[in-house]
Amino acid sequence: MKNEKKALAFGLGAVLLWSTVATAFKITLDYFSPLQMLTAASLVSVLALLTIATVQGKLHQLMPTFKRKPLYYLCLGAINPFIYYLVLFQAYHLLPASQAQPINYSWAITLTLMAALFLGQKIRPQDWVACFLGYSGVVVIATKGNVLEMSFDSPLGVGLALLSTLLWASYWILNAKNDADSVISVLLSFSLSLPLSLTLCLLTGGFPNIPWQGWAAVSYVGLFEMGITFVLWINALKYTENTARISNLVFISPFISLLLLATIIGETIHPSTLIGLVLIIAGLVIQQLKLARKAAAAKS
């Protein structure tokens, strides 16, 4: 049954939690390497998703779902979380979070281009405008406003942040025709990825002398970036009759995130970051408006 109050509550909960993860990433990276962080957070996420699947009575679907498409789920797990989060965490390690987070936020625009390339979807004029605005915003953020000089504090960090958008978009393109339960699909991806990250982590030194603060921080990342928040968002979309309205909630996330970065860890927010973020958001809004018009036309 549709319930807009529940949808709004779940949606706001997810967005507010997502707003905290950039700060949590930077705090966690003070204690862990990107690989250690990926491994520990993935383990926490698997435990959280196992608990959710058990409570929802879905755990019996796990093995039958995997047996239907074993190579498919192995591929999903390799992309996300293994490669995606390893790249993303390294980008956060090299860049200020106020740069890495908005650049990664442009993944939805990357998805438009990749959907046209791999799924044969048509790119309309609005999509080109959105792409121009979004990637202009990325350049403004990455160069701190020195667009003509094209000077980057960390070219590798910017490259990794952009690569993360390609990986995340690729993951969703592969998911486009996945008819399995969403919680089970994500649980499979994380469960199949965990042995890869754990083996590599143990071969490169394991987890020597990590204080409890580090474990608390990485547990937060595993729960609220990779685990529980995903389920909140699924429920928000399930209960609403207006997907576009709930989806628009995500636009407040990066601004709250910048505020938290400034107040909690004292990161300086460069004015160009706000300008670039507004450009990215403008591009995403243009895409949303196009989708809203299509939905309205379909109902008439």
**144, 153 contact by CB (below 8 A):** yes
Closest CA to 11 of 238, 289, 259: 238
**Which tokens hold the place of 236?**
């928000």
Separation between Cα atoms, residue 70 and residue 201, nearest integer Å? 24
Domain extent, residue 43, equals: 4-299
Q: What is the pLDDT of residue 244?
A: 67
**Which tokens hold the place of 272?**
């160009």
Q: What is the pTM of this model?
A: 0.88
Instruction: Report the number of distinct structural domains present in the chain.
Output: 1
Separation between Cα atoms, residue 300 and residue 295, nearest integer Å? 9
pLDDT band at 231 (very low <50, low <70, confident <90, very high): confident
pLDDT band at 1 (very low <50, low <70, confident <90, very high): low
Q: What is the pLDDT of residue 124?
A: 80
Where does the chain have alpha helices with state H?
A: 4-18, 21-28, 34-55, 62-68, 70-77, 84-94, 97-104, 107-119, 125-142, 155-174, 182-203, 212-224, 228-239, 243-247, 253-264, 271-299
Q: Which amino acid is at 168?
A: W
Q: What is the pLDDT of residue 298?
A: 43
Q: What is the pLDDT of residues 110-151, one digit of tens each?
A: 888 888 888 787 888 888 888 899 989 999 998 888 887 777
Q: What is the pLDDT of residue 63?
A: 96
* Higher per-residue pLDDT: 124 or 191: 191
- Percent of the chain beyond pLDDT 70? 95
**239, 5 contact by CB (below 8 A):** no
Separation between Cα atoms, residue 169 and residue 109, nearest integer Å? 9
Region 142-171: mean pLDDT is 88
Helix (H, G, I), strand (E, B) or coil at 186: helix
293: pLDDT strictly greater than 70: no
**101, 223 contact by CB (below 8 A):** no
- Say whether the peptide bond before residue 81 is cis (omega within 30 degrees of 0): yes
